[in-house]
Amino acid sequence: MKHILFILCIAGLLVSEIATAQNSTNGNWTVVLDAGHGGKDPGALGKRSKEKDIVLDVVLRVGKYLKNHDNIKVVYTRSTDVFVELDRRTKIANDAKADLFISMHCNANEKTSPNGTEVYVMGLNKTEANLAVAMKENSAALLEENHEDRYDGIDPNSTEAYIAFSLFQNIYIERSLTMAQLIMKNLNNRLKLYDRGTKQAPFFVLYRTAMPSILIEAGFISNYNDESVLMTDAGKEKIAYSIYNAIISYSNETENLGNIAVGMNQIEETVVQNETSMQSAGVVFKIQFASFKEIVPLSDSRIKSLKNVSYSKAGTFYKYFCGETNSYNEALNYLTEVRNSGYKDAFMVAFSNGASISVQDARKMSGQ
C-alpha cells in the first residue's frame, strides 16, 4: 500500500512538473548535459582513472559542439568537479524547460571481463543486471543529506524497494528510446566497443524528468581495454561526437528544430532549381532527403521519382529537398513516403518568404 501511495504522489508531481517544463519556444532548443558523480563522489574507479573525471570531460566536449548552433542552449548540471545531488540534477533540467536530458556515466563490475557500451531509459526491466547498474548509480544518493526524504523512502540498496518503480513509466519513454537507439548507433559507428544494447532501469536521476531522458554507460572502467579507450583524448572525442551527432539526428527526426543540421551559419547561398517554387508565397514545408558534394541533376535516377525537387548550397555540400507544400500535414505524410522509399534519415524543414525557419515556428505562423 505504501508503494501505491508513493506512485500516486509521484504521478501528481510529474503532471505538475510537466505543466511547467514543456519544450522551449521561440525556435530555440535546450539540452541539459549531466556529468555523473563529481566532488566527494568519484563514481566508479578504474585502475588508472575515475568515472567523474572521464564523464565531465566528455560532457564538456559535447557542449562545445552544440554551442556552435545558434538555436541550441546548453545547460550543464555541473561543469567542474563538484558534487550535485541526483534530484538536483533533475530539477536543473525541469527548471530549464529542457527538450532533452542526457546523463553521462561509465560502467563497472567486480569482474574485469564485462565490457561494452549500453544506453538506458527510465523503466523497470526484470533483468537483474539492469537493476544492478541502476542500484550502483543510485547509491550516490547515500552521500546526500536526508536522502530518504529526497527519494520517497526508496532505499537505493534494496531490490524490494524498487517494486514501486514497476508502476511508473516516463511518458516520454518512446522518444527516450529513439534517442537511446540513435546514440548506440553512433557509438557503434565510431567507438566500436561491444554493443550491450538499449535497456530500461530505475534510475533516480531520470524518473522525475519532464522531457525525453537517457543515461549512457560509455564503457566499463573496470575493463582494461575499455578503460584505455575512455582515458584517451581520441576515445573521449569519439564518444562526444557520437552523442552530439545523435542529438542533431534526434532533433531532425522529431522536427523540433527543423533545419538544425545546417548549424554554424554555414549557408553561403541558395540556388533554387524549381521555377514553380512557392517560397515567395509565405510559409513552405519541404523534406530534406539528401546531401551531395556535387550537384546531382534532377533527372538522376536517385531522385527523379520524388516530387518538387530543389537544392541549396550549404558550405561545401548541396542539400536536396522535395515535396514542397504549404500544408504541414501534407508534408508530414510525404515525409513517411520519402523515408519508406529509402531515405531513412529524411526530415522536414520550413521556410518563410524564402528564409529558413524552424518547423515549430512555421506551424505557428501558418496556424497549423
Q: For residues 244 and 314, state if they share a domain.
A: no
Which CATH number belongs to the domain containing residue 71 in this structure? Answer: 3.40.630.40
Q: What is the pLDDT of residues 227-270, one digit of tens each?
A: 999 999 999 999 999 999 999 888 877 654 444 443 333 322 33
Which pLDDT score, from 0 to 100, does residue 274 have? 35
- Give a yes or no: residue 116 inside a domain: yes
Which pLDDT score, from 0 to 100, does residue 150 have? 58
Q: Scanning the structure block, which residue is given the C-alpha cell 527510465?
A: 122
pLDDT band at 18 (very low <50, low <70, confident <90, very high): very low
Domain end point (choices 220, 254, 288)? 254
Q: For residues 225 and 278, state if they share a domain.
A: no
Assign 146 to helix, strand or coil. Answer: coil
Overall domain count for the chain? 2
Q: For residues 130 and 199, state if they share a domain.
A: yes
Domain that holds residue 339: 267-366
Q: For residues 285 and 156, state if they share a domain.
A: no
Q: What are the residues facing 213 on neighbouring strands? A: 101
Q: For residues 38 and 104, state if they share a domain.
A: yes
Q: For residues 309 and 272, state if they share a domain.
A: yes
- Give a yes or no: residue 261 inside a domain: no
Nearest alpha carbon to residue 132 among 220, 251, 233: 220
Which pLDDT score, from 0 to 100, does residue 161 have? 54
Sheet with 213-220, edge to edge strand ranges? 72-76, 29-35, 100-107, 213-220, 117-122, 195-201
- Give a yes or no: residue 208 inside a domain: yes
Q: For residues 338 and 286, state if they share a domain.
A: yes
Q: For residues 174 and 146, state if they share a domain.
A: yes
List, in sequence order, every beta strand (DSSP E) within the chain: 29-35, 72-76, 100-107, 117-122, 195-201, 213-220, 267-269, 283-292, 310-314, 317-325, 347-352, 355-357
pLDDT band at 139 (very low <50, low <70, confident <90, very high): low
Which CATH number belongs to the domain containing residue 354 in this structure? Answer: 3.30.70.1070
Q: What is the pLDDT of residues 290-304, one digit of tens each?
A: 877 677 777 777 787
User: Per 3-state DSSP, what percentage of the chain is helix, strand, and coil (rounded to 5)?
Assistant: 40, 20, 40
Give CA–CA dist 76/59, Å, rounded.
Answer: 8
pTM: 0.59
- Measured at the alpha carbon of residue 312, what is the angle toward residues 306 and 314, in degrees to the nearest 5? 130
Q: For residues 165 and 299, state if they share a domain.
A: no
pLDDT band at 153 (very low <50, low <70, confident <90, very high): low
pLDDT band at 75 (very low <50, low <70, confident <90, very high): very high
| Separate counts of helices (H) and strands (E) for the chain | 10, 12
Q: For residues 245 and 278, state if they share a domain.
A: no
Q: For residues 285 and 312, state if they share a domain.
A: yes
* Range ranked top by mean pLDDT from 25-39, 211-225, 263-277, 302-316: 211-225
What's the mean pLDDT when you consider all of the chain? 76
Domain end point (choices 206, 228, 254)? 254
- Give a yes or no: residue 157 inside a domain: yes
Q: What are the residues facing 349 on neighbouring strands? A: 286
- Give a yes or no: residue 259 inside a domain: no
**Residues sharing a CB contact under 8 Å with residue 326, sequence separation 6 or more, in sequence order:** 278, 281, 282, 283, 284, 285, 366
- Give a yes or no: residue 262 inside a domain: no
Domain end point (choices 232, 254, 276)? 254
Q: For residues 231 and 274, state if they share a domain.
A: no
Q: What is the pLDDT of residues 329-342, one digit of tens each?
A: 999 999 988 888 87
* Range ranked top by mean pLDDT from 13-17, 80-84, 312-316: 80-84
**Residues sharing a CB contact under 8 Å with residue 149, sequence separation 6 or more, in sequence order:** none
List, in sequence order, every beta strand (DSSP E) within 57-181: 72-76, 100-107, 117-122
**With contact defined as beta carbons under 8 Å apart, do 203 and 122 qualify?**
yes
Give CA–CA dist 256/347, Å, rounded.
Answer: 11
